[in-house]
């Protein structure tokens, strides 16, 4: 354990610090953007003493920050250990040009896909989707998307869940091999992407409703892009999945701000 912490304490510290920032900003954003009835219920639970609106927002941010930092440290540590066991974790310290280009391409394609699919297709079936673009994203919201989405979600879904699923599948079906086969890694990637998409359903339902088309949109967009993030993690390492994920949010938010 001491050797593990000595080797990876900087990585875990990075996850924790980004988790604190991203979690705090995400907590405030989520509370501010819930529908009035859900917001009022949360405010009453968070602020039973009537300390005021600002205090409730800050308290929500603090709770979310602690939770996110905990995810970064605990799931990050377990994910690294699992990743090393099955060969998914890569210890390289620099950024290589080829996988960086792949990450940027996926970020741009994913960012455009998120916006254009709503404008050209999904928005025609749900007025709530287009209404969600009525308010331009703020700087705190963009930062929350990059930090929580780009880092903490990748720690949870790719580093932890994808590694764990691959580890379990290997123990169940791949004992003849020292490391998980490509088939097992691809299957783990798909399952993790499905979990990634499913994890977005509660917030999506609260913000824009819950219909069959919303469900299809969530699994198609988040799941499809999640598979690409998982491919980057498997082929090149977690940092490239984080770059692509964070970059995808940057591209989509820039398009939102400039053209919608």
Pick from 3-17, 32-46, 181-195, 224-238: least confident: 32-46
49 phi and psi angles, rounded to 5 deg: -90, 0
Contact 152, 19 (CB under 8 A): yes
The 3-class SS string of 2-69 reads: HHHHHHHHHHHHHHHHHHHHHHHHHHHHHHHHCCHHHHHHHHHHHCCCCCCHHHHHHHHHHHHHHHHH
Angle of helix 182-199 relative to helix 201-208, nearest 10 degrees, comes to: 30
**pLDDT score recorded for residue 222:** 94
Mean pLDDT over 237-253 rounds to: 97
- Compute the average pLDDT of residues 230-259: 96
Give the pLDDT mean for 131-157: 93
Distance CA 125, CA 129 (A): 9
Is the predicted pLDDT of residue 30 greater than 80, yes or no? no
Of 5-9, 40-44, 165-169, the one with minimum mean pLDDT is 40-44
What integer best gives the mean pLDDT of the chain?
Answer: 90
- Res. 2 pLDDT band, cuts 50 70 90: confident
Residue 116's pLDDT band (cuts 50, 70, 90): very high
Q: What is the pLDDT of residues 34-66, one digit of tens each?
A: 656 666 666 666 666 555 555 667 888 899 999
Average pLDDT over residues 241-246: 98
Q: What is the pLDDT of residue 134?
A: 86
Backbone phi and psi for residue 75, each to the nearest 5 degrees, phi listed first: -70, -30
Nearest CA among 6, 248, 237, 260 for reference residue 119 = 260
Query: Are 82 and 163 spatial neighbours (Cβ–Cβ below 8 Å)?
Result: yes
CB 85 within 8 A of CB 222: no
Evaluate whether 72 touches 16 at the Cβ level (below 8 Å): yes
User: What is the C-alpha to C-alpha distance for residues 108 and 113, in angstroms, rounded to an integer?
Assistant: 8
pLDDT at 35: 59
């Amino acid at each position: 354990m001491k050797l593990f912490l000595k080797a990876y304490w900087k990585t875990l510290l990075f996850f924790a610090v980004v988790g604190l920032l991203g979690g705090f900003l995400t907590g405030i954003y989520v509370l501010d953007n819930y529908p009035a009835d859900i917001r009022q219920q949360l405010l009453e639970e968070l602020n039973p003493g009537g300390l005021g609106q600002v205090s409730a927002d800050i308290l929500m941010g603090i709770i979310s920050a602690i939770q996110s930092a905990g995810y970064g440290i605990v799931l990050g540590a377990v994910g690294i250990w699992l990743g090393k066991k099955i060969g998914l974790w890569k210890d390289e310290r620099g950024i290589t040009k080829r996988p960086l280009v792949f990450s940027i391409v996926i970020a741009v394609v994913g960012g455009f896909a998120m916006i254009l699919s709503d404008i050209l297709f999904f928005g025609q079936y749900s007025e709530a989707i287009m209404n969600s673009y009525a308010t331009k994203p703020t700087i705190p919201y963009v930062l929350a998307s990059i930090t929580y989405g780009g880092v903490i979600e990748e720690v949870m879904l790719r580093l932890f869940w994808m590694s764990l699923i691959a580890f379990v599948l290997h123990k169940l079906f791949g004992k003849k091999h020292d490391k998980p086969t490509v088939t097992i890694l691809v299957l783990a990637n798909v399952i993790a992407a499905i979990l990634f998409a499913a994890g977005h359903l509660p917030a999506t339902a609260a913000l824009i409703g819950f219909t069959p088309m919303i469900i299809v949109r969530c699994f198609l967009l988040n799941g499809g892009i999640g598979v690409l993030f998982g491919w980057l993690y498997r082929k090149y390492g977690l940092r490239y999945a984080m770059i692509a994920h964070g970059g995808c949010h940057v591209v989509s938010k820039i398009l939102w701000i400039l053209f919608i």
